[in-house]
Each structure stands twice: as structure tokens, then as C-alpha cells.
Amino acid sequence: MNCSFKIAVHSVKIFPKGATATETKMQTSKIILWPLAFLLLGIVFVGAKEPELRQLNVVFRHADRTPETFPKRFPNDPHMYESFHPIGPGGLTNEGKRRVYHLGEVLRNRYRDFLGSSRDDHRESLFAISSDVARTKMSLQLILVGLYPPSADSKWHEQLEWQPIPTYYNEFSKDTFFNSDRCQMFIDELTRVRSLPDVQKKLGKFDTYLEELRKTVGKKSKLNLNDILLLHNNLDIEKRMNLTMLPWMNDVLADERLIEMRRLYYEINSYTDLLKRLLSGFMLRKINEDMFEASTNANFTRKVTLYGGHDKNIIALLQSLKIYDGHFPDFTSALIFELWFHDKGYYVKVRIRRFFTI
């Protein structure tokens, strides 16, 4: 995977033609809690005209899924040997399908005025892309069902509130939006970072715990940070699905050290500016380019771009924007970039939708 690029990801500024930085100076407020589980990072303007929404970019995590099976990593977990038929390991559950469909409804209701009354106007105004993974592709389809239900004119089946909408993905080996952590430049930099004395010190604090945990889960070789991420995800999902939890599984899931190690995983993966740029820079660049087009090109018709991805994508964006607070994005969590116009200037609001309980 070619992941060479030059981009500054920490400062995204949108200026209209002829405007100066002084005219469109951005002031960032504190993060505050909004209804519907939304958090807002943005600006409040007082002026003669109401601010006007111009474009949306929505990055969301896929819906609830079944555990992934790693019998060699965690042989003592009885669910590592299940087929989870007919969904399969890592497949979307029915609850997850309902939840991500509802996310589409939430977006439709929240941005109804911006999207317009026509629910069929998506050919030129929408672009939807996901990673090359079944659960993200399916989640993207489901969010579109809630976001763009057919109007009476477009309804082609009396019992189906659904219309076909094209979605896109890049081949896994070429996907720099969602899987740039697989490119060689990232791998080389991460290897270098993990060998740094201060990082080794952070990891060394957990040596005893990792050996205890290795014996508990039954792995023959040493556990690493990737194992920690997979283990925490699986145990959390198994508990949510009301699967049988052996005593050790509940104990491990409740151990704060497991949480600390997962946070350390994300910290190390974004330890340097280069790692941050490689993890989120491609997507941020695309978002920035689209916002620039929306603010300068009268013929730019795209209103909404949907990115169906993973928790790691949301965390990477939050880290690059320097607003990550250590939480783990739940299924269907979303990061929403809103481009607003007010008087002579453009500004961006970032909303964080942490979770939604059905």
C-alpha cells in the first residue's frame, strides 16, 4: 500500500474567496453535552443572519457484531470455537442492524431542512464509502435505508421502504481511508516508536499482568497489544450478547488493567505526528478538499459524504484533532463534520455521537 503524502492534519481552515484569516477567525468552545447523545465542538456566532449549513461529512463505526474467533490466541474462551451461524464471526447482529438503520433516521430528522424534502435527491448530493469489510459495507447500506427512504414516486415495491443507492469501497490492500495502518510506512514508524525507551517503560509496567493474562486465556506465546484489543472487544461483545461467561472472563473484562492497556494501544499508535498523519491524514485531507469545494465552487453539489468504518478510524481522527478523551467509540458512534457559512466566513463544527440505545 502506497501511503506517501504531505499534509498538515491539525489545522483545518476554510476561507471563502477573497477573505482573510482575520475575517474568518475560528474560536473553539469547550466540548458540551447535547441531547440525542451528541457532543458539540464548534463556535456560536451572533449576527444579523442565521448561519447556513453547507456540507456534512459523517464518519461512523459499523453496527453491533458477533465476536471474531481466534482459537489460537484465546483457546480458553469457549466461544472461539463457535460458528455463529448464520451470521458468522464478526457479522452484524439483528440488534446492530436496527441500531445503524436508526442512526440513518436520526441523521434524516436532524438535518431534514438541509437535506430537503426530496428523499430521492441523492445521485449528485451523496457519496457513500466504506472499508472493504462485510460488516462496514452492510452498515453503510443500512444507514442509507434510514437516511434516504423512498418517496411515493420512487417506491417500487409496496411492502419495501427501500431504494437502491450506490455505495463504494477501495480494495483492502489499496485502502488509505480506513486501513492505512497496514501500509509499510506506518508499520516502520510504529516499530521504531515501540522501541523508544519511554514507550518501553510504559509497556514494561504491564509485563507481570500480561504473563498472568496469557495463562488465563491459554495462549502459548506472549500476548501483545493487538491481542489486548481483540480480547477486550470479544469479551465485551460476548457479555452484551448474553453468551456464557466463565468466571475468568468476567474477571478479565472487569480488570482496569485491560482498559489501560487498550488505551495504551491507541496512544502508541498515534505517538508521533507521522503516525497521526498516516492514520487519519488521508481522510482528513478528503474532508478538507470537499469542504473547500463546497465553499468555493458553486457547481459542487455534494451535500453529504458517509464514511462507514471502524472504531480505530474515529479515534484516529479525534487524536489528530486533539480532542480524544480516552473513550472507546461504541457501535454506530459517529463523528460529524459540519461546514457552516455565516456572513462572509466559513467555519466547521464537529459533533461526536458516542452511542445510541434503542
Evaluate if residue 44 carries a pLDDT over 70: no
pTM higher than the cut 0.85: yes
Evaluate if residue 21 carries a pLDDT over 60: no
Taking a C-beta distance cutoff of 8 angstroms, is the pair 357, 77 a contact? no
Evaluate if residue 230 carries a pLDDT over 60: yes
Taking a C-beta distance cutoff of 8 angstroms, is the pair 75, 44 a contact? no
Q: In CATH, what is the architecture of 37-353? A: 3-Layer(aba) Sandwich (3.40)
Of residues 33 and 130, which shows the higher confidence score? 130
53 backbone dihedrals φ, ψ, rounded to 5°: -75, 130
pLDDT score of 24: 28
**Helix or strand run (H / E) with residue 334:** strand 334-342
pLDDT bracket for residue 159 (50, 70, 90): confident
Question: What distance in Å separates the CA atoms of residue 172 and residue 151, rounded to the nearest whole number?
Answer: 35
Burial grade of 331 (CB within 10 A; 0-12, 13-18, 19 or more): buried
Using DSSP, state whether 313 is helix, strand or coil. Answer: helix
Taking a C-beta distance cutoff of 8 angstroms, is the pair 328, 262 a contact? yes
Please state, for a pLDDT cut of 90, what percent of the chain lies above it.
74
